[in-house]
Chains A and B, each alone.
Chain A
Amino acid sequence: MTRGEERFNALLSAVLLLGILVLVNRIASRHLVVRHDFSEDQLYAVSEATLRTLGRLEDRLQVKAYFTGDIQSGQIALAKARLEGLLAEFAALSGGRLHVDTVDPNTSSEALSEAQELGLFAFPAHSVRGIQRIRQDVYLGLVLRYRGREEVLPFVSPNSFEIDLSSRIYSILRETKSVVGWFGADPAPGTHEAQYGTFTRLRGLLSQQHLVETVEYLASGAPVPERVDVLLVVRPKELHPRAAFAIDQFVQRGGRLVVFVDQAEMGRSGEARISKATGLEELLELWGALPGPHHVWDTASFGKLPMTRNLMQYGLEYPLFVRMRADSFDATLPPAANLQDGVFCWAQPIKHAEPLAGGTRVILAQSSPDSYYVDLTETVLVDADMEDMVKSVTASLYARGEGQRYALAVVLSGRFPSPFEDGAPAPWDPLADSDKPLETTDETVLSWAADSQVVVFGDADWVRDGYLRPPNERLVSGVVDWLTLDEDLVAMRTRVPRDRRIRDFLQEERIRVGASDSEVLDTTGEIEREMKLEEAAARAARRRQWTCMLAPILGTLALVFGFGIARTLLGRRAAEREA
C-alpha cells in the first residue's frame, strides 16, 4: 500500500467514524431518554403528583403545540427544543395516552387563525443576522383537548413546564371545576386604596384552576350559593350581621372559608389608619381565630420597603413586612409543606385560643421569635424619617423585653358553633333606623352542623397585586387548592429547593460573647462595652470563616506535598539500595 493510499484510508475511516458517532448521538438525543435526578430536592425529576395525574388519563389527551417552526433566535430555538423533549417525555410517561401534534402558525394561515381564536399570543423575539437585527413573532403555546373539554396554555416556558402542563392536565381531567366564591373589597382604580394595589392578579391566578365567582349579594345577607366550594372573604369592612350570618351558615353546611382580615390603611406618607370593625369579630372570636387590633413588628425577619431618597431607589428594612422562613410555616399542612419564603405586609397577630371541641387549630404561618406588637395609630411612620423611626420604634420595643412569635394565619378544622343560635339576624334593610336594636327571625340556624375548614389570615395586603410574588402565590394557591381537595395540585406547586442556609458565624459568636441586640443602652460605658463585644464577635466569626476556607486547601496541599516528599525519599532509598 502506498503512503497516499494509507493516508486516504486513514482519512476515510476517520470520516466514517465521525459520521457513525454523529448518527449515534442524534439517535440518542432523540430516543435515549434515560435520566434520573439523584438530588434531594428532585427539581429535575417528574413529580409523583404529575405521574399520578398522567396515570388518571383514561382516554386520548390531544396536545396541540402551536410552535413557530423556523425560530431565528438561538436561545429561543433551544428553549423550543427543550419543550419538545419534555413533551416527548410526558407522552412516554402517559403510556401512550398523550398525543402531541405540532403546527406552525408562522407558516400555516389556518394554524394562525386557530391560535388567535384560542387566545395564544406571539411574543417578539430578537436576533442578529449579520449586521441586521431581526424581530420575529414566536408562538410557543399549547392547547389540550380531552373528552370535549379544552385547556389553553398561551405560552409555555421550559422552566415552569411541568407545573404548567400537569396542572392543566389535572384541570382538564375534572368533569367540573371547583367554584371559588369571591367576596370583598377590590378597590376601584383611581381611589386612594387602589394605590396599594387591587386583587386582580390573585383572581387571575385562581381562575387558572377554578371558577371564580363574585358572590354579589352577600353584603346584603343573601346566602352563599350552594355551588361555591370555597369562599374567599377579602378585607371585610363593617359587614352587616346578616352577611356574617350568611358566611357562618355557609361554613355550617360544610363550605370552606378563607378570610383575609386587614384593618390597616396606610396613608400616602406612610402614616397608618385603622379602619373600623370587619363585622366578623363575633364569629372569628367564637371560632378562635380573631386577629388582634395591633400589628406585628418583626425585628429579626423582615422584608424591604421600596423607598426613594435623592432620586435613588433603595429598600428599607421594614419590620412591618414580616418575612416568612421555612420555620415560620407548619410543614405538616400540605399547602405549607416545603414553603421557604413569603412576606406579610402590615399583618395583625391572631389571638391565642384553644381549639374547638372535637376540632383542631393549627398555626399555618407565624412571625419570628423576635417579634413585638405595635399600635399603628400611635406609631406614625412618615417617609422623611422612616429609617430613624424604624430604629427608634425597634429600640423602644426592645425595652419591653423579649419578643415572641405571633400567629399570622391559622387553620381551623372540625365543626363550628354558630353565634346566631339564639336567632338569625333580620335581613338588611337600608331604610331601617341604625340605632334600633337588631331584630331576629325564627328561621332555622345551623350550628355544629358539618365538618369544615376555615383559614384566617391576619393580613390581606400580601395578596394584593404589588405584593403577590411567587412565594406568596404558592401559599395562597396552595391553601385554595387544598381546601378544594386538590392535594395533587398542592404537591406540584410546593416543589421548591430546600433551604440550605449555612451557619451564621457572626450571630453564633455574638451569642457566645454575650452581645445582645435586645438591650437598650443608656450610658456611654454600656455602649463602649457593647461595641467591644461586637468587634470581638466579628473577629471570631472572621477567624472561623478563614478556618473553614483554609482547612480544605491547606489539608489538600499537605497531602499532595507529603505524598511527593515520601515518594522522593522512598525513590532515593531504593536507588541507594540498588547502588
Chain B
Amino acid sequence: MRTLAVCRRELAATFESPIAYVTIALFVITLDGLFFFLGYPIGNLPLPSLWLGEQASLVVLFTWLPLLLALLVPALTMGAWAEERSRGTEELLLTYPVRTGEVVIGKFLAAWTLVALLITLAVVPVAISVAGLGALDWATVWVGLGGAYMLAAGYVAIALLLSACTSEQLVAFLVGAIVLGLLWLLRMLVGVLPASLASAVDYACPSSHFLGSAARGVFDLRDVVYFGSLVGFGLYLNTVVVERRRWR
C-alpha cells in the first residue's frame, strides 16, 4: 500500500509539470514520423517506411523503440532522485515511515507506468491506422507491446539507479542516455567483437531480447528471466545507494 502511495505521489507530481506532456508529444511525433516517413535505415538490414515498404506491419516502429526509449526514459526519470536531492526533499521522504525499498519500488512503478502509457499511446493509434490499410497481424502487435513494456522496465530500473547516483538532473539524463545508448549500440558491435565476448555481450544487450523475439510476435520465457533480473538488480542497487545516504 505504501509503495502504491509513493507511486501515486510520483505520478501526480509528473503530471503537474508540463514537461511530461511535452515529452509525450515529442515521443509520439518522433516515433510515428520515423515509422511513416523514414523507415529504419540503420544496420545491415535497413527497413523501408510504411509507404515505401507497402506492408501492413509495425516492425519499423518496434525497431526504433530501443533507441528512442534510451533517450526518453532518462528524460523522464532524471528527476526521480536527483531532483529530490537538489531540492533537499530526499531526507524528508526518507523520514516517512516507509522503507527505502518501498520508495524505490514506488518510484519505479510510477516511471514504468508512465513509459508504458507513452508506448501504448504511440503504438496503438498507429496500429489502428495501419490495420485500416491492410491485414495487420494484431497478435504480433500485442506481443510486441508486452515486450516493449519489459524493455521499458529494464531501462527504467537502470535510469533510476543512475538518477540516484547524482544530484544533478542534467547529469542524470546525460549519464542515463549514454549508458542506455551504449547498451543499444552493443547489439550493432557484436559482429566485430571477439567470439568469446560476442555471445555474452549479445545476451547482456536489452534490445537483443526485445527485437529477437517479442518484436516478431514471439514470447520467450528467457527474456522474462533476463528483464526480471535486470529490474531486480537495478532496484536492489538503487535501494543500496539510497540506503547508504541514509546511513551518512
Residues on A with beta carbons closer than 8 Å to the beta carbon of B243: 10
Residues on B with beta carbons closer than 8 Å to the beta carbon of A34: 220-222
In the bound complex, how far is the Cα of B233 from the Cα of A24, in angstroms?
13
Name the one of A3, A18, A24, A41 contacting B247, with C-beta atoms under 8 angstroms: A3
Contact in complex: A75, B198 (CB < 8 Å): yes
In the bound complex, how far is the Cα of B226 from the Cα of A10, in angstroms?
23
Q: Is A273 an interface residue (CB 8 A)?
A: no
* Listed residue (B36, B193, B195, B218) with the most chain A CB atoms within 10 angstroms of its CB: B195
Contact in complex: B125, A552 (CB < 8 Å): yes
A121-142 toward B: CB 8 Å interface, digit per residue (1/0)? 0000001110000000000000
Contact in complex: A129, B247 (CB < 8 Å): no
In the bound complex, how far is the Cα of B121 from the Cα of A43, in angstroms?
28
Contact in complex: A502, B125 (CB < 8 Å): no
Name the one of A32, A36, A78 contacting B198, with C-beta atoms under 8 angstroms: A78
Contact in complex: A127, B194 (CB < 8 Å): yes
Q: Is A511 an interface residue (CB 8 A)?
A: no
Contact in complex: A28, B221 (CB < 8 Å): yes
In the bound complex, how far is the Cα of B198 from the Cα of A548, in angstroms?
42
Contact in complex: A552, B218 (CB < 8 Å): no
- Whole-angstrom distance from the CB of B43 to the nearest CB of chain A? 12
**Which stretch, B20-28, B73-81, B163-171, touches the partner chain A?**
B20-28
Q: Is A551 an interface residue (CB 8 A)?
A: yes
Interface size on A, residues (CB 8 A): 58
Q: Is A575 an interface residue (CB 8 A)?
A: no
Interface size on B, residues (CB 8 A): 64
Contact in complex: B135, A498 (CB < 8 Å): yes
A564-577 toward B: CB 8 Å interface, digit per residue (1/0)? 10010000000000
Decide yes or no: A557 and B218 within 8 Å by CB, A7-B244, A545-B51, A552-B125 being known contacts.
Answer: no
Residues on A with beta carbons closer than 8 Å to the beta carbon of B122: 556
- Whole-angstrom distance from the CB of B119 to the nearest CB of chain A? 12
Name the one of B33, B132, B232 contacting A21, with C-beta atoms under 8 angstroms: B232
Residues on A with beta carbons closer than 8 Å to the beta carbon of B236: 14, 17
Q: Is A72 an interface residue (CB 8 A)?
A: yes
Q: Is A71 an interface residue (CB 8 A)?
A: yes
Contact in complex: A501, B129 (CB < 8 Å): no
Contact in complex: B194, A502 (CB < 8 Å): no
Decide yes or no: A500 and B247 within 8 Å by CB, A35-B220, A37-B217, A556-B121 being known contacts.
Answer: no
From DSSP, what is the main secondary structure of chain A's interface residues?
helix
**Which stretch, B52-60, B91-99, B104-112, touches the partner chain A?**
B52-60
In the bound complex, how far is the Cα of B216 from the Cα of A36, in angstroms?
11
Contact in complex: B137, A28 (CB < 8 Å): no
In the bound complex, how far is the Cα of B95 from the Cα of A494, in angstroms?
65
Task: Report the nearest A residue to B193, measured CB to CB.
Answer: A74
Contact in complex: A500, B28 (CB < 8 Å): no
Contact in complex: B190, A503 (CB < 8 Å): no
Q: Is A51 an interface residue (CB 8 A)?
A: no
Residues on B with beta carbons closer than 8 Å to the beta carbon of A552: 32, 125-126, 128-129
Extra 20 A-B pairs, beta carbons < 8 Å, given A38-B140, A560-B21: A10-B244, A14-B237, A21-B233, A25-B225, A32-B225, A34-B222, A37-B218, A39-B140, A41-B137, A44-B216, A74-B192, A127-B194, A500-B56, A500-B135, A502-B130, A502-B133, A548-B132, A552-B32, A553-B125, A564-B15
20 A–B pairs (Cβ distance < 8 Å), ordered by A: A13-B240, A14-B237, A21-B232, A25-B203, A35-B222, A38-B142, A39-B137, A44-B213, A72-B194, A74-B191, A74-B197, A81-B199, A501-B134, A502-B56, A548-B129, A553-B32, A555-B125, A556-B125, A557-B25, A567-B15
Q: Residues of A at under 8 Å CB distance from B? A: 3, 6-7, 10, 13-14, 17-18, 21, 24-25, 28-29, 32, 34-41, 43-45, 70-78, 81, 127-129, 498, 500-504, 545, 548-549, 551-553, 555-557, 559-561, 564, 567
Q: Residues of B at under 8 Å CB distance from A? A: 15, 18, 21, 24-25, 28-29, 32-33, 36, 50-51, 54-57, 121-122, 125-126, 128-130, 132-137, 139-140, 142-143, 190-195, 197-199, 201-203, 213, 216-222, 225-226, 229, 232-233, 236-237, 240, 243-244, 247
